[in-house]
Structure 1
Amino acid sequence: MSQWIAVALAIASAVCLAVGTQTQSAAVRGETSGALRPRNLGALLRNGRWLLGTGLLGLGMALNVSALTLATVTVVQPIGVVALAITTLLHARHQHLTINRRTWLAVVLCTVGGAGFVACAVSATDPSRRPGAAAENTVVLMLLGLVVLLGIAEVVFRRRRISMFYVLGAGVLYGFVAVLVRLSMTALTAGGLGASNWLAVLMLLVTAVLGGWMVQCAYSSGPPDLVIAGLTVVDPMVGVALGLFVLDEAGEGLTGWLAAGMGLAGVVAIVGVVLLFRFHPEVIQRRAAARARSRTRDGGTGQQAASSRKVARPDR
């Protein structure tokens, strides 16, 4: 019964995530022209719409934490895909976009894949299992290496502002955040503050901040439903992989057929994300605008070159 209460809490969390994401994305676009920079943070902190979105995301996080205290990461995290359909509809209405068939297909694939993943995960995990200290230390060390790697990549890609990089990076980070939340809450409820791994808590906070920054950067370089699509597919897959192979949450119900079903559902969801990144109406508009700017620059360069040749040509 507790697992299904956790599922209900996770669904409520997904709704808060969707509305909060759309609200924050609109605020980021309103305060920035192009890529988000650290100097824009002051304006965002004074923006009521951005603060409202932050509050909704905070509420969604609290609901998600509550869900993780009742069920495993493998069960809770995939449910976030519900937020994708809600965000797509909200963003299309806000931007007055017409959602094309391929976008709808992408949303359906993400949702069906995520729902199938949840159904398999419920049967595959044993909620009574408790990971040991060694598993927790392994997660912390893996996360430490990941944070360093993403920090270096951020420096490399800072000027290019690739939306896919920020979406994938944030998704992986939040997958680790979910696992650390689960571990911290389990330790807290079992042994109180004295049983907590404070290094894990510190890494949780650092990862949440870094993931939040990457999400804000993704808002400035792509529509919010793409951000949600990446997060709701990458995040649960990372969480599930860590849960099954590092935290040993797999139960006796995890058979070869069930594992194959989870893999198939994951592939379906990933295909949906790829289609959304390629055929979302706003992405198509941005590509067309980029091509138009490129043609304009090329045309201007060609005219300048022709003028230079005329000036350089000797009078006869």
Structure 2
Amino acid sequence: MSQWLAVALALLSALCLAVGTQQQGTAVADHAHGRLSLRTFLVLLRTPRWSLGLALLGVGTGLNVTALGLATVTVVQPIGVVALVITTLLHARHRRLRINRRTWTAIALCTAGGAVFVTCAVAVTDPAQGISQWAEHTVVVMLVVLVSVLGVSAAMFRRSLGGTFYVVGAGILYGFVAVLVRLTITRIQGSTGTPLDDVNWAAVVTALAAAVLGGWFVQTAFAAGPPDLVIAGLTVIDPMVGVLLGLLVLGEAVPGFSVTTGILMAGAGGIAIVGVAVLSQHHPEVLQRRAGLVRPDRPLPAPRPSAPRPAAPGR
């Protein structure tokens, strides 16, 4: 019974995340005109549609956490890819776009590859294993370097970077943040004295900085591309980064981890990444922007009528 309730909560979470992403994405695109600035962001804070999207994203996150408390990740996590399909349909209807065959193929690749990767990862990882302080500090140092590199790159090359950079960057950052949040919660739950005494505050501060930078990247990606591309990148990259950190740094792999499973995970992850790449190149809104549309939600301006030619002499 609890698993069916978890499935229902996960579906509601996917719906909230999809609608919230679509609302925020269209609000940013309508105000940012391809580039997001601090002034535009301050305007978005007072935009009802953007605020509604933020609220829905918060509700969706809460529902997903509750679902994970009732069932395993194997049951809950693959359902999250439903948000990609819902976001694509909502956005296509809002922009009056016709979803092409390659877009559907990309969505299928993201969904299938992500589901297989997560399912395999759950089978070969054991999050209950004790995590050493060295491993946790390693994750913190890696994230500090990552935040520095991505932040400097975004500041120096913001005029030349495309939406794919921000989508991939946000997915990687959120993957690290999820790992540090889980490690912090584990420390609090396993504390024998005051819960906050065992908290690694360096990890908390670093995770907050990464979350803020990742949030800015997401909003910038909304300005540079369609919201379904953004959520596709996040749902694919975020869990993959978390799993890889667990396997390679935190030592969460079970003794039975085999080369065959590793190859299957690598293949599934590659398929999902190819799906994101195809979506970034062949999404109908991306094709519209390449065709020269100034605004993705408005057609090109009608050409001005040419001036009438003067009549020929003698006529």
* TM-score strictly above 0.5: yes
Q: Does 1:231 align with 2:214?
A: no
**Distance in 2 (alpha carbons) for counterparts of 1:149 and 1:66:** 34
Which of these residues, 182, 193, 197, is aligned with residue 196 of structure 2?
Answer: 193
Question: Which residue of the partner structure matches residue 49 of structure 1?
Answer: 49
**Distance in 2 (alpha carbons) for counterparts of 1:18 and 1:28:** 15
Question: Which residue of the partner structure matches residue 251 of structure 1?
Answer: 254
**Distance in 2 (alpha carbons) for counterparts of 1:243 and 1:57:** 26
Question: Which residue of the partner structure matches residue 27 of structure 1?
Answer: 27
Q: Deviation digits for residues 87-138 of structure 1, max 9, x if unmatched?
A: 1111111111111111101101110111111221221112321312211111
Maintained 8 Å contact 1:74/1:125: no
Q: Deviation digits for residues 243-286 of structure 1, max 9, x if unmatched?
A: 11111111134222211111111111111111111111111111
Distance 1:259 1:174, change over 3 A: same
SS in structure 1 of the partner of residue 291 of structure 2: helix
Aligned-pair CA distance for 1:22? 0.6
1:149-160 alignment, distance < 5 Å: 149-160=149-160
Question: Which residue of the partner structure matches residue 276 of structure 1?
Answer: 279
Maintained 8 Å contact 1:71/1:127: no
**Distance in 1 (alpha carbons) for counterparts of 2:187 and 2:58:** 22
Structure with bigger helix share is 1
Question: Which residue of the partner structure matches residue 118 of structure 2?
Answer: 118
Maintained 8 Å contact 1:123/1:253: no
Maintained 8 Å contact 1:73/1:178: no
1:148-227 alignment, distance < 5 Å: 148-191=148-191, 192-227=195-230
Q: Which one-letter code corresponds to 2:95 in the other structure?
A: Q
Residues 70-79 or 280-289, more deviating: 70-79
1:122-141 alignment, distance < 5 Å: 122-141=122-141
Question: Which residue of the partner structure matches residue 244 of structure 2?
Answer: 241
Distance 1:245 1:197, change over 3 A: same
Distance 1:9 1:144, change over 3 A: farther
**Distance in 1 (alpha carbons) for counterparts of 2:78 and 2:239:** 5
Distance 1:5 1:196, change over 3 A: farther
**Distance in 2 (alpha carbons) for counterparts of 1:44 and 1:60:** 20
**Distance in 2 (alpha carbons) for counterparts of 1:248 and 1:111:** 27
Q: Tell me the TM-score normalised to structure 1 length.
A: 0.84
Maintained 8 Å contact 2:84/2:228: yes
Question: Which residue of the partner structure matches residue 92 of structure 1?
Answer: 92
Q: Give the CA RMSD over aligned residues.
A: 2.6
Maintained 8 Å contact 1:35/1:161: no
Maintained 8 Å contact 1:116/1:265: yes
Maintained 8 Å contact 1:126/1:251: yes
% identity of equivalent residues: 60
Which consecutive residues of structure 1, in runs of 5 or more, have no partner in the other structure?
A: 292-316
Maintained 8 Å contact 2:118/2:239: no
Q: Which one-letter code corresponds to 2:90 in the other structure?
A: L
Question: Which residue of the partner structure matches residue 297 of structure 2?
Answer: none
Question: Which residue of the partner structure matches residue 260 of structure 1?
Answer: 263
SS in structure 1 of the partner of residue 190 of structure 2: helix
**Distance in 2 (alpha carbons) for counterparts of 1:42 and 1:134:** 40
Which of these residues, 287, 292, 309, is aligned with residue 290 of structure 2?
Answer: 287
Which consecutive residues of structure 2, in runs of 5 or more, have no partner in the other structure?
A: 295-315
Question: Which residue of the partner structure matches residue 40 of structure 2?
Answer: 40
**Distance in 2 (alpha carbons) for counterparts of 1:239 and 1:78:** 15
Aligned-pair CA distance for 1:176? 0.6
Question: Which residue of the partner structure matches residue 106 of structure 1?
Answer: 106
Maintained 8 Å contact 1:74/1:243: no
SS in structure 2 of the partner of residue 46 of structure 1: coil
Q: How many residues align?
A: 291
**Distance in 2 (alpha carbons) for counterparts of 1:202 and 1:280:** 37
Distance 1:182 1:9, change over 3 A: farther
